[in-house]
Chains A and B, each alone.
Chain A
Amino acid sequence: MTNIIEVKDLKKSYYDSEEPTHALSGVTFSVRKGEFVAIMGPSGSGKSTLLHLLGLLDIPTSGEYFFDGKNISNFSGDELALLRNKKLGFVFQSFNLLARTSVLDNVKLPLSYSDVPESEWEEKAKKAVIAVGLGERMHHEPSELSGGEKQRVAIARALVNDPDLIFADEPTGNLDSKSGKNVMSIIQRLNEEEGKTIILITHETSTAEHSERIIRIMDGVIESDTKVKNRLSIDSDYVK
């Protein structure tokens, strides 16, 4: 299987103050297509910085990043935006849904920046909303939804452009355990049934065990990179 992500000696420093802060001090690893990888680490370890770099939201200070076999170092801002739109999906800890905008319109948002003709938006968005089990709530606004439902809208939004890779940044961080497990089941299902590559950022071991492989980050370097021995199955804790 080919690698969707290959990073070599990736570094990121911030120069906010006089002394540079090294958020990432040389990270090398790769992720296969269809793999489910969890990145773990305490706050300040550099895991969010890594996610931003992998998610093409930020540019590394040095090192190389091959996305889908292409070195993206020389990509322009517009080319990166296009890649994010077509190949990547994002699920954030704080949902980031547009307020006073219906579930369906929130899910359509990535389509509006794509080259998908507008006539297909409705159908694609509806399909994604149904896939996360919110078919009944399509015309509700985010303020009328529970946390778990909001996160499922965010997943539908991440799915709508049929991306290869989904980034989930602490997706259960703002949820109670029941909704959290529910969301994780959906994410795992996307991986196992649809073959989506998943990169999950979390600090909870129980959440990380939905993945196949855990990369632990500490002080900007990889501390360990291990296979998950007793991976949780999709329905092990799925509560409807």
Chain B
Amino acid sequence: MTLKHTLKTALIGLTTNRSRSLLTILGIVIGITAIMLVVSLGAGAQALILGQVQGLGTNTIAVIPGREPTGPSDVSALYSDSLKIKDITALQNKANVPDLKVVMPTVFGAGTAAYQANVYQVTIFGATEYLAQIFDLKTNNGDFFTSDDVLSRGDGVVIGSKVVDNLFGNDDPIGQKINVKGKSFKVVGTLPPTGGGSLFNFDAMILMPYTTAQDYLLGIKYFNRVIIQTYTDAQVPATAVDIQKTLEDSHNITDSTKDDFTVQTQQDLAARLSTITSALTWFLVAVASIALFVGGVGIMNIMLVSVTERTREIGLRKALGATDKDILTQFLLEAVMLTAIGGIVGIILGAGLSFIIAVGLSQGLGVNWTFVFPWSGAAMGLGVSALIGLIFGGYPASQASKKSPIEALRYE
């Protein structure tokens, strides 16, 4: 029997029991839909997170004090004051880090800001004049502080949109004095809302020169984070190594496992976040696969019933010259077609649902969630559903092919 005709025969076999075929593939449809949904939403979440991380610029490197704990007894917090101004000077030396474009020490802390009777809980963020450039910030009123302000511990601050709303309401904040931790500061600029989805939320921040923040507000001599930019993305890995060596020299460390700082590139961070979202996605896929397995068992059950019901047909086909292989192929193809159709329906349904969810998320939550059609998930879904047909259809099909023609013809 030609494959084309076997296909036709299998299709006829399925359509004669249309409602049963539909119910049978439901399990596969649900399973594949779930997998598609998880993979598509996982890819969307990954794209969102990576988009935000890379929004900082993939040529950015961060140095944070302390090292990643290697165990519960590793008290990395001990080194939280390890980054000092001499490190910045060392990093700025072209002989140490040739590809360094900008280095910006930052400090942060919490505090309360007050203007007249209004009080608001804020994050104090101390940095340099490069702040606007590195984080791609623009004021909607006024200007950023300058390098002179950084040197002279100036009292000019830039405030986020929520700080403006809570302290000033509809009044113009530019030039006004606000009180933070008992010290008086002058508002020189304001930021537009950055949106809720951003990784760095500047809305509730007060930005000021790090020198001012260190001396007047936080009372510290170290930095919470040093941000470095290279000229190109390609310079990042080599520069990360240069930074590590420079800081080890500056801290007199010879064994790099004892480093009291961590160099983190945006690329590392992106890769790490990708790994986490991927792991989560695959975990959910594994859970959704249970539905597929149950669907497969349903297929096997129905195929066994179908083989018993069609015993006479099998006997007749054999009497008319069908070989065991012909019968096996016919029933196997029926099962594979069932599951493949279920797979295709599931792929369309899953993609459609995740598209709706993507639109809902970006409009409802205001985040920049893009719909990702998971080609790999679709290909895998189709492959897996066909495979389920082969596996769970295999036993019923072999039962069918083993029927003796006379037993089959005698069957009432």
Contact = CB atoms under 8 A, between A and B. Distances in A.
Size category of the binding interface on chain A: 20 to 34
A112 B16 contact: no
Contacts of A96: 312, 315-316, 409
A101 B12 contact: yes
B262 to A, nearest CB: 70
Nearest to A154: B316
Interface string A89-106: 010100010111100000
A109 B12 contact: no
Interface size class of B (residues with CB under 8 A): 20 to 34
B323 A77 contact: yes
B129 interface: no
Nearest to A161: B321
B319 A113 contact: no
A113 B317 contact: yes
Interface in A51-81: 52, 55, 57-58, 77-78, 81
A188 interface: no
A138 B323 CA distance: 27
A159 to B, nearest CB: 12
Interface in A105-126: 109-110, 112-114, 118
Interface in B315-337: 315-326
Q: Chain B interface mostly helix, strand, loop or mixed?
A: helix
Contacts, number: 64
Interface stretch (B1-9, B115-123, B143-151): B1-9
A216 interface: no
A113 B326 contact: yes
B406 interface: yes
Contact of A81 (B4, B12, B318, B404): B318
Contacts of A81: 318, 321-324
B154 interface: no
Contacts of B404: 57-58
Interface of A: 52, 55, 57-58, 77-78, 81-82, 84-86, 90, 92, 96, 98-101, 109-110, 112-114, 118, 157, 161
11 contacts: A57-B406, A58-B404, A77-B323, A82-B321, A85-B320, A96-B315, A100-B16, A101-B12, A109-B316, A113-B323, A114-B321
